[in-house]
Amino acid sequence: MSETSLTSLLTGPVEVVGTGLIGTSIALACRRAGLEVLLTDTTSDHVRTATGLGAGRARTAQDVPQLVVVAVPPDALGAVINQVLDTAGPETVVTDVGSVKAGPLAAVAGHPAISRYVGSHPMAGTEHSGPLSANAELFDGRPWAIVPGPDATSSATRVVEALALVCGAVPVHLSPVEHDRAVARTSHVPHLMASLVAGTLAGASPEHLALSGTGVRDVTRVAGGDPHLYSQIISGNATAVATLLAEVRDRLDLALEAVAAGDRAGLESLLAYGQAGTRAIPGKHGAAPQPMEAVRIALPDQPGGLARLFSDAGDSGVNIEDVRIDHDPGRPVGLVELDVVVGRAEELRAALESRGWVTHR
Amino acid sequence: MSETSLTSLLTGPVEVVGTGLIGTSIALACRRAGLEVLLTDTTSDHVRTATGLGAGRARTAQDVPQLVVVAVPPDALGAVINQVLDTAGPETVVTDVGSVKAGPLAAVAGHPAISRYVGSHPMAGTEHSGPLSANAELFDGRPWAIVPGPDATSSATRVVEALALVCGAVPVHLSPVEHDRAVARTSHVPHLMASLVAGTLAGASPEHLALSGTGVRDVTRVAGGDPHLYSQIISGNATAVATLLAEVRDRLDLALEAVAAGDRAGLESLLAYGQAGTRAIPGKHGAAPQPMEAVRIALPDQPGGLARLFSDAGDSGVNIEDVRIDHDPGRPVGLVELDVVVGRAEELRAALESRGWVTHR
What's the pLDDT tens digit per position in B103-118?
999 999 999 999 999 9
Average pLDDT, chain A: 88
| A288: contact with B, CB 8 A cutoff | no
Q: What share of chain A has pLDDT > 70, as a percent?
A: 91
Residues B191, A271: Cα–Cα separation, whole Å: 9
Average pLDDT, chain B: 88
Strand B143-148 relative to strand B322-326: parallel, antiparallel, unpaired?
A: unpaired
Residues A193, A215: Cα–Cα separation, whole Å: 14
Q: What is the mean pLDDT of residues A222-249?
A: 93
Residues in chain B closer than 8 A to A253 (CB atoms): 249
Residue B1 confidence class, pLDDT cut points 50, 70, 90: low
Strand B67-70 relative to strand B14-17: parallel, antiparallel, unpaired?
A: parallel
Q: Burial letters for B229-267: b for 16+ Cβ neighbours within 10 Å, e otherwise?
A: bbbbbbbbbbebbbebbeebbebbebbbebbeeebbebb
Residue-wise pLDDT tens digits, A295-332: 878 776 666 677 778 778 877 878 777 777 665 444 44
Other C-beta atoms closer than 10 Å to the C-beta of B143 total 26
Residues B133, B151: Cα–Cα separation, whole Å: 35
State the DSSP H helix or E strand holding residue A259, giving kind and residue range, or none if neither: helix A238-261
In one-letter notation, the amino acid at residue B184 is A
> pLDDT value at position B78?
95
> pLDDT value at position B112?
95
Instruction: Give every CB contact of residue A179 below 8 A, 6+ residues apart in sequence.
Output: A101, A119, A121, A145, A147, B211
Residue A341 confidence class, pLDDT cut points 50, 70, 90: confident
Residues B128, B144: Cα–Cα separation, whole Å: 19
Closest CA to A116 of A80, A74, A144, A158: A158
Closest CA to B240 of B72, B103, B126: B103
Q: What is the mean pLDDT of residues B197-217?
A: 90
- Is residue A286 pLDDT above 70, yes or no? no
Residue B330 confidence class, pLDDT cut points 50, 70, 90: very low
Residue B336 β-bridge partners: B297, B325
State the DSSP H helix or E strand holding residue B4, giving kind and residue range, or none if neither: helix B3-7
Judge: A174–B322 Cβ closer than 8 Å, yes or no: no
Beta strands, E only, chain B: 14-17, 37-40, 57-58, 67-70, 93-96, 118-122, 143-148, 170-173, 292-300, 322-326, 333-341, 359-360
Give the distance from residue B291's alpha carbon to the nearest chain A alpha carbon, in angstroms: 11
Residue B303 confidence class, pLDDT cut points 50, 70, 90: low
Judge: B274–A358 Cβ closer than 8 Å, yes or no: no
Residues B222, B226: Cα–Cα separation, whole Å: 10
> pLDDT value at position A329?
42
Q: Name the superfamily (CATH) of residues B292-360.
A: ACT domain (3.30.70.260)
Q: What is the mean pLDDT of residues B195-215?
A: 91
Residue-wise pLDDT tens digits, A152-194: 999 999 999 999 999 999 899 999 999 999 999 999 999 999 9
| A87: contact with B, CB 8 A cutoff | no
- Is residue A125 pLDDT above 70, yes or no? no
Residue B329 confidence class, pLDDT cut points 50, 70, 90: very low
Q: What share of chain B has pLDDT > 90, as a percent?
A: 60
| A279: contact with B, CB 8 A cutoff | yes
> pLDDT value at position A80?
97
Closest CA to A195 of A162, A229, A177, A219: A219
Residues in chain A closer than 8 A to B223 (CB atoms): 271, 274-275, 277-278
Give the distance from residue A133's alpha carbon to the nearest chain B alpha carbon, in angstroms: 4
How far CA A267 is from CA of A252, B235, B250, B252, in Å, comes to 11, 8, 20, 20
Closest CA to B217 of A348, A289, A356: A289
Specify the CATH architecture of the domain B180-284.
Orthogonal Bundle (1.10)
Residues A182, A172: Cα–Cα separation, whole Å: 11
Q: What is the mean pLDDT of residues B255-277?
A: 96
- Is residue B229 pLDDT above 70, yes or no? yes
Domain ranges of chain A: 3-174, 180-278, 290-360
Residue A78 confidence class, pLDDT cut points 50, 70, 90: very high
Q: Find the CB nearest A259 among B211, B219, B245.
A: B245
Residues in chain A closer than 8 A to B270 (CB atoms): 195-196, 199
Checking ipTM against 0.85, whether it exceeds it is no
Fold topology of B3-174: Rossmann fold (3.40.50)
Specify the CATH architecture of the domain A180-278.
Orthogonal Bundle (1.10)
Residues in chain A closer than 8 A to B314 (CB atoms): 303-308
State the DSSP H helix or E strand holding residue B274, giving kind and residue range, or none if neither: helix B264-280
Judge: A210–B143 Cβ closer than 8 Å, yes or no: yes
Residues B233, B74: Cα–Cα separation, whole Å: 7
Q: Within the 170-189 window of chain A, which residues sit less than 8 Å (CB to CB) from chain B?
A: 170, 172-174, 178-179, 181-183, 185-187, 189
Residues in chain A closer than 8 A to B208 (CB atoms): 178, 181-182, 185-186
- Is residue A1 pLDDT above 70, yes or no? no
Nearest CA in chain B to A212: B186
Judge: B207–A298 Cβ closer than 8 Å, yes or no: no
Bigger pLDDT: A358 or B69? B69
Q: Find the CB nearest A330 among B198, B259, B285.
A: B285
Closest CA to A28 of A130, A160, A136, A167: A136
Residue B301 confidence class, pLDDT cut points 50, 70, 90: low
State the DSSP H helix or E strand holding residue A14, giving kind and residue range, or none if neither: strand A14-17
Specify the CATH architecture of the domain A290-360.
2-Layer Sandwich (3.30)
Q: Find the CB nearest A282 among B178, B218, B329.
A: B329
